[in-house]
Each structure stands twice: as C-alpha cells, then as structure tokens.
Amino acid sequence: YRVARGNRIRLEFEDDLELDRDAWHVIRVEHADGRIRVSLGGIGVMRARARAATDEGRAGIWSDGAATAWFDDLQVEDAPERDR
C-alpha cells in the first residue's frame, strides 16, 4: 500500500506465496526515483511505481488483519547513488 492524505491505496497484490510460518524470511523493499521493488528471499514478488512525490526519510511497516510480524534485523538506509 501507499498512503496519501491518510488513505491507503493498494499498489499490487500477491496471494499465491507459500511461506513456512515458523521460519524467518528476508524481505527487501527498494524505493528510488518513484520505483518500488519488493523481494522475498531474493525473489522479486512486486514492482510498482509511486504516483506522487514522497517525502524523503519516511518508512513504515504494517501487518494486515490479525497477522503478526516479528523483525530481527530491521534496517532503513539510503540507496547508494548508483541505484537512485
């Protein structure tokens, strides 16, 4: 989702992922120049484009419904210049 003026807007939906609920997984989200890429365990699962400019320095983590998410090594960092 992206949030604009307090409204959630779905970017893309992937519902056929089969994950071991008792295992740790690595998720990577890259957002640069309006492009958003998400990979899970090194496999691309989503690509989207942001429709509006965003303020730099903001990141959020959200879990849907009754889901629980645990993070063991959460990192938010600027992309290297070559990736921008």
At residue 36, does pLDDT exceed 70? Answer: yes
User: What would the mean pLDDT of 36-49 be, rounded to a whole number?
Assistant: 87
Position 70 scores a pLDDT of: 84
pLDDT band, very low/low/confident/very high, at 57 (cuts 50, 70, 90)? low
The pLDDT score that the predictor gives to residue 52 is: 65
Digit-coded pLDDT (tens) for 58-70 = 677 777 777 788 8
Give the DSSP letter string of 48-64: EE-SS---TT-------
Phi (first) and psi of residue 38, to 5 degrees: -125, 130
Dihedral pair phi/psi, residue 35, rounded to 5°: -95, 135
